[in-house]
Structure 1
């Protein structure tokens, strides 16, 4: 891995989604133990690529991104065996921390339109309220952890929404789409874990989750107009 160098974004994107396809295949058809190798590779690739491009960001921004991705990496490892309540609890903690660090990264000091934010926040809050209400009876000891986790989903979605007009349009679209995909993945995972199985659930969870972390990370690299991800 230390000698791996990506020529451009297209090459990295191809490699990333090939690894994602391999992980989905392993998840669907192979013993669970093999995923302890394939699933962490997704975050490791993103961390490595972001590190190569770190000159495009200041050190404080780099720290939040590295912390967020590192927490997601640990959450990925623990949630592989989500039927184990201890590992599931640990994964919720690390995913919540990851969302918190991404939220700090997405936060900016520019003025924003409160009127535009209110209807969006109300719609998002209603969705999360209905989702939590749907799985409420089956949460049991995970109720508090789930509430905190979904709260930070609400926060990260709002901060992603407020980036519009502050950063480049490409960056805004990438990050917002990534956060949206993360919400979809998290919703399906919550229903799968605490309620009942859904058709193609494992495929949809990993496709949405893998794509979400890709788009959020790449969106951060395109924050400024005219900034190109440099060739390595």
Structure 2
């Protein structure tokens, strides 16, 4: 142990700082169990957690980020990964507030939601390096190419998840379907929520491919449901 480590080991303030950081991290780990509200409202069987969604967004940044360089020149994918990792961390304290596309559903006030999440970040990131809070603020501002990329991937991740849930038969649109969603067929609501919020040509092109794939899978599911209702084996 060198002199500096020895000094830290006997420094109660250093120990307090470490304990505060551990407490903040434990709070953030609630994301591992925080279910994604939109899927829950739709009755998806065993829907993903917010942390699982966060991993999906980070993976899309890594896997598809280069495709966005024409729309977002100079984008730094390593920096974008930092933003992706923290982009929903405030929900460890606030919970996941769903964005509803349906005109009859309740919508969260954006300014109130942002203020609540910013207050949560004071608690969650306070004892941690400034990079954590700064990355979250940069994502919320949407002023850098990295923040725009992460938001595009955030939106596209939802569409990918809808394809998976439909493909893997983890969603039954006839099972307790809420009246608030009747204007959308099955999981089409999530594509309706996404479409107008995409800001890049690359994001919109990927979105169209995903929507086409979803509708193909959905058509097969609907055919199967119709056969089952007719008593076919």
Which TM-score bucket, shorter chain as reference?
under 0.3
**Whose radius of gyration is greater, 1 or 2?**
2
TM-score using structure 1 length: 0.25
Task: Judging by fraction of residues, say which structure has more helix.
Answer: 1
TM-score using structure 2 length: 0.25
